[in-house]
Amino acid sequence: MSLAEHPLRKYTRPHVKKTTTCPGCGNGIVAQAILWAIDELNREEGLSMDDFVFVSGIGCSAWIPSPLFAADTLHTTHGRPIAFATGVKLGLPRQKVLVASGDGDLAAIGGNHLIHAARRNIDLTVVMVNNGIYGMTGGQTAPTTPRGLNTITSPYGTMEPEFNVAAMVAAAGAPYVARWTTYHPRQLKRAIKKGIQKQGFSFIEAISQCPVQYGRVSKLGRATAILEHFRDHSLKLAKAREMSEEELAGKITVGEFCDRQAPELASQWSELRARLGKEQG
């Protein structure tokens, strides 16, 4: 039996024959992880692409849902996908709203939206693809760039420490936060599925490879070399918690940062609307 087409093609737009990414880019792996998670939810809970609204900002990873996914997609302004997604969720509380965008978009330009959406605990699933660099614009230093890396805007090495985004979002109050790399596609898929099912703000950080920009400046080169780096430098969170900051330098901590219950904003709005409607006749 030979398949006529990939089983995930039923979730992609028919006119989009190919992914828009460079060869070896991790965005395709994250896109697949999202679609496999939705495929499982389709079989288990009957969710379809019509139940979703996908929101993305600007950057290479913003091209994951738009134009690839056959669903309602919003390709918004730089750094603002969470602001748009908040409006979509409050206006259409029954829809599942998933934000897929990059580190430059969500953690740098849109950093405050991310912090406050986590604090407000609005029911969004945010998948942040973190490649550690501004890929689309030519390889400039991002807040997520590892310290010491020579980029085109830091030819003598970045002097700033890198942003631990997952830990920050967990500290801001998000009920579900996980981090995996593109070397862990199964765990990534499970985390995204859990995030979609979670009532509340869920944040999944996918450490991803940019062979073109990050590969060049880090001298790692090919996508496979960056994936090998992820494989060799990933560390489970439970183990990392027993280690000192010096020992953790250069490591990528992966796992679930938190999984808890907290009052969710969109459902509180719905309850308030119902209560006031009753009181005022």
Partner 1 sequence: MAKVTLFPQACKGMEDCGICALVCPQHLFTSSGEMNEAGYVPTRLTEPEECTGCQSCMLSCPDMAIVVVKEKGEEAS
Q: Binding residue for partner 1 (CB under 8 A) from 160, 228, 247, 271? A: 228
The span of 5-13, 89-97, 167-175, 261-269 binding partner 1 (CB under 8 A) equals: 5-13
Instruction: Give residues 186-215 in contact with partner 1 (rule: CB under 8 A).
Output: 186, 189
3-state secondary structure of 269: helix
Q: Is 280 in the site for partner 1 (CB under 8 A)?
A: no
Contact criterion met (CB below 8 Å) for 160 and 142: no
Q: Indicate whether 10 belongs to the interface with partner 1 (CB under 8 A).
A: no
Tell me the per-residue interface mask from 259 to 278 with partner 1, x by CB under 8 A, - otherwise.
--------------------
Interface residue with partner 1, options 9, 78, 194, 229 (CB under 8 A): 9
Decide if residue 222 touches partner 1 (CB under 8 A): yes
User: Do 182 and 188 touch, CB atoms closer than 8 A?
Assistant: yes
For residue 254, list its beta bridge partners. Answer: 236
Distance CA 109, CA 79 (A): 5
Question: Is position 18 an interface residue for partner 1 (rule: CB under 8 A)?
Answer: yes
Q: CB of 1: closest distance to partner 1 in angstroms? A: 6
2 binds partner 1 (CB under 8 A): yes
Q: Report the Cα 262 to chain-centroid distance in Å.
A: 21
Binding to partner 1 by residue 23, rule CB under 8 A?
A: yes
Q: Is 87 in the site for partner 1 (CB under 8 A)?
A: no
Tell which one of 62, 106, 223, 252 touches partner 1 (CB under 8 A): 223
Q: Which is nearer to partner 1, 186 or 239 (CB)?
A: 186
Strand ranges in 61-210 using DSSP code E only, listed in sequence order? 72-75, 96-102, 125-130, 176-181, 202-207
| Other residues' Cβ atoms within 10 Å of the Cβ of residue 38 | 25
Q: Which is nearer to partner 1, 25 or 165 (CB)?
A: 25
- Distance between CA atoms of 228 and 220, rounded to whole angstroms? 10
Residues near partner 1 (CB under 8 A), total: 34
Find tokens 């006031």 and name the residue. 276
**H or E segment to which residue 120 belongs:** helix 111-120
The answer to whether 185 and 30 have CB atoms below 8 angstroms apart is no
Q: Which residue has the tokens 């760039």?
A: 145
Does residue 36 belong to the site contacting partner 1 (CB under 8 A)? yes
Interaction site with partner 1 (CB under 8 A): 1-3, 5-9, 17-19, 21-29, 31-33, 36, 182-183, 185-186, 189, 222-224, 227-228
